[in-house]
Amino acid sequence: MTNYTISVVIPLYNHEKYIADCIHSILKQSYPPYEIIIINDGSSDDSGKIVQAIKDPRIKYRYQTNQGAARTINQGIRLCQGQFIAILNSDDCYHPERFRAFIEVFERQKNLKALFSNLEYIDENGAFIKNKDGLADNYVQLLPGDYSFQGDSDLLLHLLSGNFFATTSNLFCTREVFAELGYFSPLQFTHDYDFFLRLCYRYRGEIHYAPQTLLQYRYHGQNTLKADHRLFYYELAVMYAKFFKTANLNRLFGDHANRLETMAKFLNSFNRFNLLNHSLDKIVLTALLFGEEFKEQELYDVLLGDRGNPFRGEALKRIAREEHENIDDYLKHQQHFLLLDKILHSKAFRVYSLIREAQRDKSQWLLFPFRLMRFLKHSD
């Protein structure tokens, strides 16, 4: 196997509880990285001290005042020297065979520009929650006989159904990608989705999606999307509008023999998991209709950057109104997360996690009674 160099960028912000596990998941790779670039984005906890206590010459640590995730990732990418660049958020972890699995695929398909994998959800203590099969999850709500992009080999069309790549932590690509495509847009919630759409649009047929579970995505109380879901939906709509405004229709959907069939598939596939369909669709349509009034970058600068613009204000009110009108459906959606939080913090689940860990590693069975006693003694 060829000795490729891999640079890993970690954007770090207030994750003192998780950063050590994050770093060690990189250091334990069976195919070792060339360098680990950690940018501390103004953390106010002890994250920085924990990083500096880990002694490895491959770790390069920098501190900056808070600039947000997208800008922090971009700063790290500009410092990378490796042939490949991977990103790992400071609360997530890699499977130990992730890099080796990707390099093996790359050696078979030298034309590839980027690689992704399935992932699993873990809780704040690292316990397994569930596996996520990105492509399959995009279409679970389809009815039999519905036209859709399900079964299509084009990853871009699947991305229009939802961001099944899920997170910047899933990105593994050649360094040339950023020189050719550009960096992450300064978006608060959807910088990953925006980049993935541009990536798959630019490099059709040069993106690989591995069915193996090679990434652990941590679910906990500080996840970004919990901050303000209404702003997330608004930003998502503007992001879609910019993408469609700049994309060529034939390049986007290909030269399909039956254009009406493609339209039917798009109708049923586009943004399947949006709970606020009417509001989001109207925001996208309005931004597209008036898109010629703005230069490409102004679409973000004006519609997202100017908090006082009336379009933003009315869009947020519309999202709030539709959310209220569909409150039962919305609460059912939120109930999953509320119930999940309750389960993950229960004593029963913690005991279950200890048993699962012992089952995965038989040597842990001898320690299980002592760990259980310690847990019961110190748990709230």
Tokens standing for residue 370: 């002592």
In tens digits, the chain (380 residues) has pLDDT values of 689 999 999 999 999 999 999 999 999 999 999 999 999 999 999 999 999 999 999 999 999 999 999 999 999 999 999 999 999 999 999 999 999 999 999 999 999 999 999 999 998 888 888 888 777 777 777 777 888 888 888 999 999 988 999 999 999 999 999 999 999 999 999 999 999 999 999 999 999 999 999 999 998 766 554 457 788 889 999 999 999 988 988 888 876 668 888 889 888 888 766 655 678 888 999 988 888 877 766 788 888 888 888 999 999 888 888 776 655 554 455 455 545 555 555 556 566 666 666 665 555 566 666 666 665 555 54
- Rg of the chain taking only CA atoms, in angstroms: 22
Residue with tokens 């984005």: 41
Residue with tokens 């309005």: 286
Kindly report the pTM of this predicted structure: 0.83
Q: At what angle do helices 229-246 and 310-325 cross, to 10 degrees?
A: 120
DSSP string, 104-145: HHHHH-TT--EEEEEEEEE-TTS-EEEEE-HHHHTTTTPPTT
Quick one: the chain helix, strand, coil %, rounded to 5? 50, 15, 35
DSSP 278: H
CA distances to 207, 214, 289 from 162, in Å: 17, 20, 23
Residue located via tokens 């759409």: 197
